[in-house]
Amino acid sequence: MSSTLSVNGVDHQVDATPDTPLLWVLRDFLNMTGTKFGCGMALCGACTVHLDGQPVRSCSTPLQAAIGKKITTIEGAQSAVAKVVQQAWDEIQVPQCGYCQSGQIMSAVALLERNASPSDADIDSAMSGNICRCNTYQRVRKAIKNAAEQLG
Amino acid sequence: MRRFSDTSETELSSSRRSFLKIVGGVGAGLTLGINVPVVASQMGGRAGPSVAGENFAPNAFVRIGLDNRVTVVIKHLEMGQGTFTGLATLVAEELDADWKQIDSEGAPADAKRYNNLHWGPMQGTGGSSAIANSYQQMRTAGATARVMLVAAAAQQWSVPASEIQVKQGIVSHQGSGKNATFGELAELAATLPVPDAESIQLKDPSEFTYIGKSLPRKDTGKTDGSATFTQDVQLEGMLTAVVAHPPRFGAKVKSFDAKKALESNRVVDVIEIPSGIAVLAKDYWSAKVARDKLTIDWDEGQAMTRNSAQMMAEYREQSKKKGSLARDDGNTQKALQGAETVIEAFYEFPYLAHAAMEPMNCVALVNRDGCEIWNGEQFQSVDQNNIATLLGIPADKVKLNMMFAGGSFGRRANSDSDYLIEAVQIARAKPGTPVKLVWSREDDMQAGYYRPAYVHRVRGGLDAKGNIVGWEQHIVGQSILAGTVFAGGIKDGVDGSSVEGASTLPYKIPNIRVETTSVEEQVPVLWWRSVGHTHTAFSTETFIDELAAKAGQDPVALRMKLLSDHPRWQGVLQLAADKAGWGKPLPKGWGRGVAVHESFNSYVAQVAEVSVAADGGFKVERVVCAVDCGVAINPDVIRAQMEGGIGFGLSPALMSAITFDNGKVVESNFHNYQVLRINQMPKVEVHIVPSAEPPTGVGEPGVPPIAPAVANALSAVTGKRYHELPIKA
């Protein structure tokens, strides 16, 4: 069955079953591979995208829950906040293997969109769902603060 | 796909526009003849004839295009450790290129040119050896290209080569005022003879402009989702495969029913392979759902039924008996018998999963020409041989595309090529169709290859004055090297990877005896970031603290005294202690602990500060790290590896363990195999010891000291001793 999905401002027709997780719709049906598969259980955050501006784990969000919502993925992270966050990530040289970083950035953007000057506790709370096995956490924290300053 | 894989479709088409000329080889270990044209297909696996002038490629590592881009071919896997940056820095330094004009590109599988010089004829990445084995080779490659660009300029401008300067990618001659980019000289340079490697002069370290600077990384595309991992490879007509693995190691398929699995029109086939039942579908989710609908009857007659507690109890008994001798200084038995005080500890370490963020996966295409693989490729020579043997084809018919790896931590360097072989087993059933094998997190965590579980028995003796007179250690656990291509590393029953870090104990103790016993289990085991040091650093560095406490000596002062013959150990220890404010007061409930350890010829000391709450819970607040890895190629990458290594080592220190219950792996995903998260990450500061020694690796050496430093810090608060990981406070 075909569904209409709005991803990064573009409508797509998707022929996937309604229970297919949004992650796999993005990756296997729309060929948008920036959003990563890490755990399949909303435990690691690698698959984080925005649904109407809210960060969600796309591995555990069925397609039917995303229909009619505005989906933003790393490929479409173009907001002023997103650009500053990506710049901060580059400047602080956050990524190592990089696999989790799409999810880290999407979580960080969502945090800064609603909280312009997050405390350490705010960062912990917003980012503790995003695992990085390279343990770039110290730089993630620094980059978020750096971005907050620039946005300030 | 991004500019990464040598053989991706887009890359192939762009390379056809700029053909290559390969005229020779340089560097230790390379055997290409000087001035003998080599067919272009040997370079980067690219097609196309050798056309002089369109591109300048003086050796297997450097290509300079007419567009003034300098491509550095990186023979090691980029898995986050920074090798795309580090190796490119070595070329850029000697070439005097502009860092902005440098692109890094993964090398194809070709051990003749891209072997790891520390591993003989093998191509592969591991043992924190990338920088160490490439230091001369990559610098020579860059310097050779520079000499040829200068020669081209001298010829073109009719001036002496000795008067020509190269700076930041510009070749210039002051007297005539002429200058040119590399791209402008590439065509002429490509026609010139490649100088002998022996004639190439490398810079004196005082002339370095890039080495020692924190240049930005070259493994880009990681902040906008454009970097391509194996998981992201999309090929025309590609199928996705998932595999139902046996519930226990040693079990086999008896029979299966795929009727329900095949009901979906997106499921293409279900096939039996040696490692289980594979479902092939047009997408991952359809394959996964179909896998859940399989009915499989497993033959568990030969399956493992062991429990972790049972293993630990057996290993503990074994550790009291004699083992194979790894080191025997003096007469330890006599020394301990004559000691005033003897203390004894049994250490326990569980199995550990690598749990890289990118679960294992592999794209395989088998056709009549051979086999092509897309993979976070870490073990080229081994994987090529294993796949070639399976398919009955020559190794050079197995083409390996080295993708970015979403972490490895040792997992992708596997003598069995386990998940690659699984992918090829499936793909060979669908000749001509590319197949992407995708493991779920559960597959990744339960299908094996773990850091082995170990028990150490350690005994130490003090004389009446508090001097350590004897040290005896027996390490019991599975051998990582047994049955692998590295089995030669087992000598007289001693697997070097089980005892490294203990058999190399640097402390000046007159009597030291280290033994090991390798036990057999059905659990597939593998090295895990820093290998034997993951456990030996913990037992040795907490036990030395325990002895220091018994002797009433300061942990830093005692170590400094016992390391008097080891200035590099002392250097990092003193630096970490000074920067951490060792001995200065801390808030109530806080404690400080230290550990120092050498691994892979790099020296690391860490001072951890922990705070202990009233309920006994604790937090690692701050870690001060000092590292001596010889010449620091890129200080920021070194800092990143220390920060990451500390975080990585905190997971097994605080929370991670793989356990077995009646032969089944209990843990399946990140809810029950917990790993460090941002709220648990301490503040880390890294200090690098200035050094002119040859550079050594940083990928692994940051890991070993953190667990003992934390345990020692906890002991400083609680007075208790910790002999088990993860630490139970």
Q: Looking at CA atoms only, how far is residue B530 from chain A in angstroms?
A: 14
pLDDT above 70 coverage of chain B, percent: 93
Q: Are residues B365 and B340 in the same domain?
A: no
Domain total of chain A: 2
Q: Which residue of A has its CA nearest to B236?
A: A31
Residue of A134, A136, A141 for testing the chain B interface, max B β-carbons within 10 Å: A134
Q: Looking at CA atoms only, how far is residue B355 from chain A in angstroms?
A: 8
Say whether B679 and A128 touch across the interface (CB within 8 A): yes
CATH number for the domain spanning B75: value is 3.30.365.10
* pLDDT at residue B634 greater than cutoff 70: yes
* pLDDT at residue B52 greater than cutoff 50: no
Q: Are residues A71 and A91 in the same domain?
A: no
- Write the ipTM: 0.98
The CA distance from B43 to B32, in Å, is: 12
User: Which among B355, B640, B683 has the least Cβ separation from residue A133?
Assistant: B355
Residue-level pLDDT at B54: 54
* Bridge partners for B62 per DSSP: B59, B72
Q: Are residues B701 and B617 in the same domain?
A: yes
Residue B71 lies inside a defined structural domain of this protein: yes
Q: Are residues A22 and A67 in the same domain?
A: yes
Q: Are residues B585 and B644 in the same domain?
A: yes
The CA distance from B513 to B552, in Å, is: 24
Residue-level pLDDT at B486: 86
Q: Which residues of chain A have a CB within 8 Å of the CB of B82?
A: 96
Residue B557 lies inside a defined structural domain of this protein: yes
A29 touches chain B (CB under 8 A): yes
Domain total of chain B: 3
Say whether A97 and B224 touch across the interface (CB within 8 A): no
Residue B533 lies inside a defined structural domain of this protein: yes
Say whether A40 and B79 touch across the interface (CB within 8 A): no
Could you please report the per-residue DSSP string of chain A?
--EEEEETTEEEEE-S-TTSBHHHIIIIIS--TTS--S-SSSSS-TTEEEETTEEEEGGGSBHHHHTTSEEE-GGG--SHHHHHHHHHHHHHT--SS-TTHHHHHHHHHHHHHH-SS--HHHHHHHHTT---TT--HHHHHHHHHHHHHHH-
| Contact (CB, 8 A) for A128 and B246 | no
Q: Which of A87, A141, A68, A33 is nearest to B684 (CA)?
A: A141
Q: Of B384, B405, B438, which residue constitutes the final position of a domain?
A: B438
Mean pLDDT of chain B: 92
Say whether A38 and B358 touch across the interface (CB within 8 A): yes
Confidence bin at B13 (pLDDT 50/70/90) = very low
Amino acid identity at B481: L
Residue of B223, B236, B352, B679 for testing the chain A interface, max A β-carbons within 10 Å: B223
Domain of residue B165 covers 16-223
CATH number for the domain spanning A22: value is 3.10.20.30
Q: Of A26, A61, A76, which residue constitutes the final position of a domain?
A: A76
Residue B1 lies inside a defined structural domain of this protein: no
User: Which among A33, A38, A127 has the least Cβ separation from residue B678?
Assistant: A127
Q: Of B167, B189, B223, which residue constitutes the final position of a domain?
A: B223
Could you please report the per-residue DSSP string of B111-180?
HHHH--TTSTT-----TT-HHHHHHHHHHHHHHHHHHHHHHHHHHHHTS-GGGEEEETTEEEETTTTEEE
Q: Are residues A13 and A50 in the same domain?
A: yes
pLDDT average, residue stretch B602-611? 98
Q: Are residues A23 and A41 in the same domain?
A: yes
Q: How far is CA B22 from CA B37, B107, B187, B412, in A?
A: 6, 15, 13, 31
Q: Which of A71-80, B477-486, B667-676 shows the lowest mean pLDDT across its residues?
A: B477-486
Q: Are residues A84 and A72 in the same domain?
A: no
Confidence bin at B219 (pLDDT 50/70/90) = very high
Residue B728 lies inside a defined structural domain of this protein: no
Domain of residue A129 covers 80-151
Amino acid identity at A1: M
Between B676 and B729, the more confident residue is B676
A18 touches chain B (CB under 8 A): no
Residue-level pLDDT at B346: 98
Task: Look up residue B229 and give its DSSP letter.
Answer: B
Q: Which of B497, B443, B464 is nearest to B126 (CA)?
A: B497
Residue-level pLDDT at B34: 21
User: Which among A90, A97, A123 has the least Cβ separation from residue B405?
Assistant: A97
Residue-level pLDDT at B33: 20
Q: Which residues of chain B have a CB within 8 Å of the CB of A77?
A: 224
* Bridge partners for B348 per DSSP: B455, B724
Q: Are residues A9 and A43 in the same domain?
A: yes
Q: Looking at CA atoms only, how far is residue B353 from chain A in angstroms?
A: 12
| Contact (CB, 8 A) for B89 and B215 | yes
Q: Are residues B90 and B188 in the same domain?
A: yes
Structure tokens at B480: 């990582």
Q: Are residues A72 and A104 in the same domain?
A: no
Q: How far is CA B216 from CA A95, B77, B94, B639, in A?
A: 11, 18, 18, 13
Say whether A96 and B81 touch across the interface (CB within 8 A): yes
Q: Are residues A38 and A104 in the same domain?
A: no
Residue-level pLDDT at B729: 82
At B57-108, the pLDDT tens digits run: 889 999 999 999 999 999 999 999 999 999 999 999 999 999 999 999 999 9
Q: Are residues B296 and B319 in the same domain?
A: no
Residue B443 lies inside a defined structural domain of this protein: no
Residues, chain B, total? 729
At B504-531, the pLDDT tens digits run: 999 999 999 999 999 999 999 999 999 9
The CA distance from B684 to B621, in Å, is: 9
Residues of chain A with pLDDT below 70 are none
Q: Are residues B544 and B620 in the same domain?
A: yes
Q: Are residues A91 and A70 in the same domain?
A: no
Confidence bin at B14 (pLDDT 50/70/90) = very low
The CA distance from A147 to A89, in Å, is: 9
Structure tokens at B206: 């005082």
Residue B407 lies inside a defined structural domain of this protein: yes
Q: Of A76, A93, A112, which residue constitutes the final position of a domain?
A: A76
Say whether A36 and B231 touch across the interface (CB within 8 A): yes
* pLDDT at residue B53 greater than cutoff 90: no
Q: Are residues B371 and B480 in the same domain?
A: no
Q: Are residues B602 and B667 in the same domain?
A: yes
Q: Are residues B211 and B249 in the same domain?
A: no
At B338-360, the pLDDT tens digits run: 999 999 999 999 999 999 999 99
Confidence bin at B51 (pLDDT 50/70/90) = very low
Task: Look up residue B326 and give its DSSP letter.
Answer: E
How many interchain CB pairs under 8 A, A with B?
173
Cα B670 to chain centroid distance, Å, stands at 22
Q: Which residues of chain B have a CB within 8 Å of the CB of A75?
A: 224-225
